[in-house]
Amino acid sequence: MPVPKVPNEERLFSLVLALLSSEAGLTKSEILSTVQGYRQRFVHSGDNSNLERQFERDKDDVRELGVPLETIESPEQAGNNHNLRYRIPRVDYELPDDISFSAEESTLLGLAAMVWREGSLSEESRRAMVKLRSLGIATAEPVLSYAPQLRVREQSFEPLRSALDKRVLVTFEYLKPGEQTSTQRTVAPLALVQHQGRWHLYANDPATDRFKTFLLRRIVSTVRASKKLFEDSTVDAAARALAELEAVWQSNVAVVRVEAGTDAATRLSKRRGATASPTTDLELHFTDLNIFADELASFGPEVLVVSPPALRVAVVERLTRTAADHG
């Protein structure tokens, strides 16, 4: 019987939900055997190496979203990775006390909560809570005060996946950073991959026979599938795309100065690969300069970009434009 496929967003949400609900944290084995999206593929007393690698990638994605996922080492068995526990401290994830909602906003949040309670995701989450309790792990039901940042797939995702399955060429308009007008691209879709929380299309340009990676959020038109088939590539497209994106991420390093005790300090210090100096400087890796500039600018005065110069200029431009727009 085939294992039902669980969407990435649902698996990550279930992971966050489980780690929020356990004060003492969960071991990797407890997570893989109980959490929605892992438990369906978990093999008791068997090989779960692929599932463990999936969990390692998911941890990076969760941290990339700014969720403070902690790793706790057992004092009695220091250095034993099998007994590491994972948790999300509630105090770091709850909404700040100075945030309040109007009556209209509270009504909308209440309606959203009702949808979640009635949905299959909540049912699966409740099922996971029962399993955790059966293991003797104390859990508490999360409440509306949590603010998970759920990723959604771009509108182009489904038509691209359909074209990929049918092995047909696609055409779309693509807007590159810094350009005012989009350009039309016709490519053979080879893989859809998620890296650092964002979806990318890895494709071959039949006109030049070059492999290219497109960020889905920069596709600004409807994806049009043709009837022209293309031959299967002998390249492991997904693995190659992820390797190339990872190489870009590793090579791009920024130094930012954050104000201690701020939201920026908490979130940025939890990013994968973040390293701190004795001062308040952080070294951070990034894949896309413009997207990273958007993120850093959202922290306002809590962040100062030290290097590289191009990133500093990009953040200053965004802050200047925001100040001008709001007078």
Which pTM does this prediction carry? 0.56
Average pLDDT for 180-198: 90
* φ, ψ at 102 (rounded to 5°): -75, 170
DSSP code of 298?
Answer: T
Q: Where in the chain is the domain with CATH 2.30.30?
A: 157-241
- The reported pLDDT for the residue numbered 109 is 64
The total of other beta-carbon atoms located within 10 Å of residue 192's CB is 20
Measured between alpha carbons, how far is residue 163 from residues 5, 108, 152, 195, 221 in Å? 19, 37, 20, 21, 16
- The reported pLDDT for the residue numbered 296 is 94
pLDDT in tens, 30-72: 999 888 888 888 888 888 888 998 998 888 888 877 788 888 8
Q: Which of these CATH numbers, 3.90.1750, 2.30.30, 3.30.1330, 3.30.420, describes 157-241?
A: 2.30.30
Q: Which two tokens stand for residue 283?
A: 């070294």
- The reported pLDDT for the residue numbered 149 is 41
- The reported pLDDT for the residue numbered 308 is 95
- Of the CA atoms within 13 Å of residue 285, those in its CB half-sphere come to 17
Average pLDDT for 12-28: 85
pLDDT in tens, 84-143: 899 988 777 666 666 666 666 666 666 665 554 444 444 555 555 554 554 454 555 443
**Ordered DSSP codes for 249-304:** HHH-EEEEEE-TTSHHHHHHHTSTT-EE-SSSEEEEE-S-HHHHHHHHHTTGGGEE
pLDDT in tens, 218-269: 999 999 999 889 887 667 888 899 999 999 999 999 999 999 888 888 889 8
The total of other beta-carbon atoms located within 10 Å of residue 132's CB is 21
Q: Dihedral through CA 233, CA 237, CA 201, CA 54, nearest 10?
A: 150
- The reported pLDDT for the residue numbered 3 is 61
